[in-house]
Chains A and B, each alone.
Chain A
Amino acid sequence: HLFIHSISIFQAVLIILHLSPFGSLLFSPFSSHLSSSSPIPHRERESFDSESLLSPFPQISSSGGISAMDRSPKRRSISPDDATRFPDEVLERVLALLDSPKDRSAVSLVCRDWYSAESWSRRHVFIGNCYSVSPEIVARRFPRIRSVTLKGKPRFSDFNLVPDNWGADVHSWLLVFASEYPFLEELRLKRMRVTDESLEFLALNFPNFRALSLLSCDGFSTGGLASVATHCKNLTELDIQENGIDDFGGEWLSCFPDNFNTLEVLNFSHLNTDVNPDVLERLVSRCRSLKVLKVNRSISLDCLQRLLVSAPQLTELGAGSFSQELTPRQHADLEHAFGLCKNLSVLTGLWEATAMNLSAVYPACSRLSFLNLSYTALQSQELASLLPHCPCLRRLWVLDSVGDKGLEAVGANCPSLEEIRVFPADPFDEDMINAVTESGIVAVSQGCPKLHYILYFCRQMTNAAVATVVRNCPDFTHFRLCIMNPGQPDHTTNQPMDEAFGSVVKTCKKLQRLSVSGLLTDLTFKYIGKYAKNMETLSVAFAGSSDLGMQYVMEGCSKLRKLEIRDCPFGNAALLSGLEKYESMRSLWMSACNVTMNGCRVLAREMPRLNVEVMKEEGSDDCKADKVYVYRTVAGPRRDAPPSVLTVSSL
């Protein structure tokens, strides 16, 4: 057959195309990553698919070279007199090797043939806002999709700022997929509404269905999971994370047929009720390809020990409850079981782990790259004892119970650390004891020069400390600082925290995501607009002094895609300063600001390809726009909005 080595054909194509006028177009965006089989982690899939969905096909004038541009985009267009043309099938096979959505978007803009070949060869589509496009448009644009990632509600719905019945129901998508993508294999949903009816529909209508991932979704129950377990014969992945669901018990796990053995990923860590440990053990022992297992708290340490013995090949483990008192014999057995797991790179769960029990995991930690200790309020000494066993640690999540001393231990023991997240053990407690302070974050930065991702909840911070942190670690891509008292100044100088974030944006040229907090004036935003040229996501709360603040951002941040603002003194002038910008962004959220309905109407009138939606609070006066959600769309206004969500038209 023609394709013994697809890669070399591609290289041949590259050589030929290099000679064509379009060669230069192709070479810059293409990555050298040609493998199409390795899965791309969620975070790295960027939303450029949406861009190619949204931009109408540009008119490219034929300036020589590939003559097929003059033809209408037919499925097969072979010109016998054009020796440089490749048949569509070849082009498709070559383009199929491209994974990166950015590359694919670039490819689709080259010419009609490439547009057509790329759309036929695309297997995965990422839709960052389910209302930006309709399922019909997606199906027309990409006829042969096998894997869909869909995101729904605005992120602030995680914090109860979005009404329950807001929308983002997946069902209408499934109906279209059933007819257009009957061979759909993977569905990954985030912040969508998913009912049991939808899950059953999914399980019954897609015979090749393999991977289901539900993150922060709501609307379903364990009954829906039972449908999936019962009917999806080829399921390899069932990943149910952090969802608001009705948990009616663990019988769903028993719905996997006795001869079912294809599971590779099973995550039910946030379900609350008991599953039958025997059923789980039998399932795990017959799924020899199982790589990821994350159990819930109902699984005892005895059961966990047996699971590990039967599945030492695991690469990711979410342990259950870790507080059970163990006899020395049980502890030794558990430690031995962990010792069998030579391939563990991710360890999470460990609910309420005691220091004694934690020591059982040491033998499995030598290759650990991600350790999630945020479900147990460890003290500093316990963390300090654990960390020396994890020399390869790249990502660490902890609770602030470890204190500054615990973070010093992190700095001392984790030279490869790239990401740290410190969550508050007691977020509503305003005591000053047992929390982390600016010293902790500085200590981590001193010991971990590769740090590029931080999420830090604290009760006090100083400008000087933040400046030190970014001086030590200038490569931050994600800097999320949450000083938990709104509007709190630098506690040593009583100054606003403007200079802190100024130092972040001035020093960290690669910054993609920023969350600000503390007492902030417009100066912070002036800095952001001036220096944060790669920033794509910005989260602001209780900050700023005037409309100028938001204006600086809208005018200066050329790569901004997501902006979420709450409780800031930004009004209509600020909202409208972004007029030119919103179509190049995924969305804007503004709640409890000073925007009025009139401002929204002006925006809607000037920018007809945006949906401008307002959620009114009970009892607020008629002209206030309490919560505003603005997003670009080619699908027009929503038809499924509940009464509390008004789509603002220019009327």
Chain B
Amino acid sequence: MEGGVAYEQGLNLKATELTLGLPGTGETEGQGGVRNNNKRPMPTSETNEEESQALKAADRGSTAPAAKLCRAQIVGWPPIRSYRKNSLQEKKDSEGEASGMYVKVSMDGAPYLRKIDLKVYRGYPELLKALEAMFKFAAGVYSEREGYKGSEYVPTYEDKDGDWMLVGDVPWDMFMSSCKRLRIMKGSEARGLGCGV
């Protein structure tokens, strides 16, 4: 199967990409959703200093400031009292065990995340089929040695230790218990991962 999904070409996905940088700083970067080439891509929590600097810079300079900052964990935002956050958190923890194992799935270039219940799938083939259908791409052929061949898109996941792993490398059960979220990577970054770095 050829890589590169046709539908992507008509939509200016890059323009709707959510990043932490200032508007206009993304132009010279390479393709794909990665801003910092050598770091783990798209972390959901940066250090407070980076956030606050980005926030301040965004406040001062730009005309479309904080739309790009929605992924950052801003101190005290949204304005919810801690007792309320704590009770929600406990509910989340217990929910995970009882009713399904929901993880978020993001794809580079897509503006919205999705959520899937891993318990619904019996193995990798079903999972990959579902992801391909959900995001309209083709994952390529998986091999242990070379990862996903034949596609620009590579399914990865973040495990309990915070490392980004290739989907399919570990046994399914281990994957189920260690997967925190999924990300369908695109481009050179993905290829780097696929080569067992």
Alpha-carbon gap, A423 to B80, bound state (A): 8
- Cross-chain contact B82 with A567 (CB below 8 angstroms): no
The answer to whether A592 has its CB under 8 Å from any CB of chain B is yes
Task: For B78, give its contact among A244, A424, A592 (CB under 8 Å).
Answer: A424
Given A351-B87, A430-B113, A592-B55, check contact A158 B81 (CB 8 Å): yes
Bitwise, A154-191 to B at CB < 8 A (1) or not (0) is: 00101111000000000000000000000000000000
B56 touches A592 (CB 8 A): yes
Bound Cα distance A433, B60 (Å): 33
Contact A485 B70 (CB under 8 A): yes
Report if B84 contacts A (CB, 8 A): yes
Contact of A244 among B66, B80, B82, B85 (CB under 8 A): B82
Within 8 Å CB of B69, what residues of A? 486-487
By a CB distance below 8 angstroms, the chain A residues around B84 are: 374, 423
A407 contacts B by Cβ under 8 Å: no
From 555 to 569 in chain A, residues with beta carbon under 8 angstroms from any chain B beta carbon are 566-569
Query: How many angstroms from the CA of A485 to the CA of B52 in the assembled complex?
Result: 16
- B75 at the binding interface (Cβ < 8 Å): yes
- Interface flags, B57-101, vs A, CB<8A=1, else 0: 001100011110111011111111111110110011010000000
A242 neighbours in B (Cβ, 8 Å): 81, 83
Q: Does A502 contact B (CB under 8 A)?
A: no
CA distance A377 to B84 in the complex (A): 12
Please indicate the chain B residues that have their CB under 8 angstroms from the CB of A432 in the complex.
112
Known: A160-B76, A351-B87, A569-B59. A592 touches B52 (CB 8 A): yes
Complex Cα distance, B79 from A426, in Å, reads 13
Measured CB to CB, the nearest residue on chain A to B91 is A352
- Cβ A427 vs Cβ B76 within 8 A: no
Q: Is the CB of A485 within 8 A of B76?
A: no
Q: B49 on the interface (CB 8 Å rule)? A: yes
A484 lies within 8 A of B78 (CB): yes
Taken together as a complex, chains A and B put the C-alpha atoms of A161 and B56 apart, in Å, by 16
B70: min CB distance to chain A, Å: 4
Q: A427-B78, A427-B80, A485-B70 are in contact. Are A594 and B60 (CB under 8 A)?
A: yes
A430 to B92, CA, bound (A): 15
| Interface flags, A529-550, vs B, CB<8A=1, else 0 | 0000000000101100000000
Interface of A is mostly: loop
**CB of B129 within 8 A of chain A?**
no
Chain B residues positioned under 8 Å from A429 (CB to CB): 104
We find that the number of chain B residues with CB closer than 8 angstroms to chain A is: 36
Does the CB pair B59–A159 fall under 8 Å? no
B40 within 8 A of A: no
Q: Is A569 a contact partner of B60 (Cβ separation < 8 A)? A: yes
Check if A431 is an interface residue, CB within 8 A of chain B: yes
Task: Bin chain A's interface residue count.
Answer: 35 or more
Let me know if A527 is at the binding interface, CB within 8 A.
no
Q: CA separation between A407 and B73, bound complex, in Å?
A: 28
How distant is B181 from chain A, measured CB to nearest CB, in Å? 11
Contact in complex: B113, A487 (CB < 8 Å): no
Asked whether A228 is an interface residue with its Cβ less than 8 Å from the other chain, the reply is no
Q: Which residues of chain B have C-beta atoms less than 8 A from A159's C-beta? A: 75-77, 79-81
Q: Does B119 contact A (CB under 8 A)?
A: no
Cross-interface CB contact of A431 among B65, B81, B83, B115, cutoff 8 Å: B115
Instruction: Give the complex CA separation of A567 and B69 in angstroms.
Output: 13
Contacting residues, chain B, for A367 (C-beta < 8 A): none
Query: Known: A242-B81, A542-B65, A594-B60. Is A486-B91 also a contact (CB below 8 A)?
Result: no
Q: Are B67 and A567 in contact (CB under 8 A)?
A: no
Interface residues of A in 10-25 (CB under 8 A from B): none
Q: List A contacts of B94 (CB < 8 A).
A: 352
A424 touches B115 (CB 8 A): no
B104 touches A156 (CB 8 A): no
Min CB–CB distance B109 → chain A (angstroms)? 16
Residue of A nearest to B94 (CB): A352
Please name all residues of chain A whose beta carbon is closer than 8 Å to the beta carbon of B81 when the two chains form the complex.
Answer: 158-159, 216, 242
B70 A486 Cβ-Cβ under 8 A: yes
Residues of B within 8 A of A424 (CB): 78, 80
Contacts of A569 in B (CB 8 A): 59-60
Give the docked Cα–Cα distance between A427 and B83 (Å). 13
Of all chain B residues, the one with the shortest Cβ separation from A486 is B66
Could you list some 9 contacts between A and B, CB below 8 A? A161-B76, A216-B81, A431-B113, A484-B78, A486-B65, A541-B79, A568-B59, A617-B52, A619-B49
Of all A-B residue pairs in the complex, the 8 with the closest CB atoms, nearest first, are: A487-B66, A159-B76, A486-B66, A485-B70, A242-B83, A484-B78, A161-B76, A542-B66
- Beyond A160-B75, A484-B78, A567-B66, list 13 extra A-B contacts (CB 8 Å): A159-B80, A161-B76, A244-B82, A423-B84, A427-B78, A427-B85, A427-B88, A431-B114, A542-B59, A567-B55, A569-B60, A592-B55, A592-B56
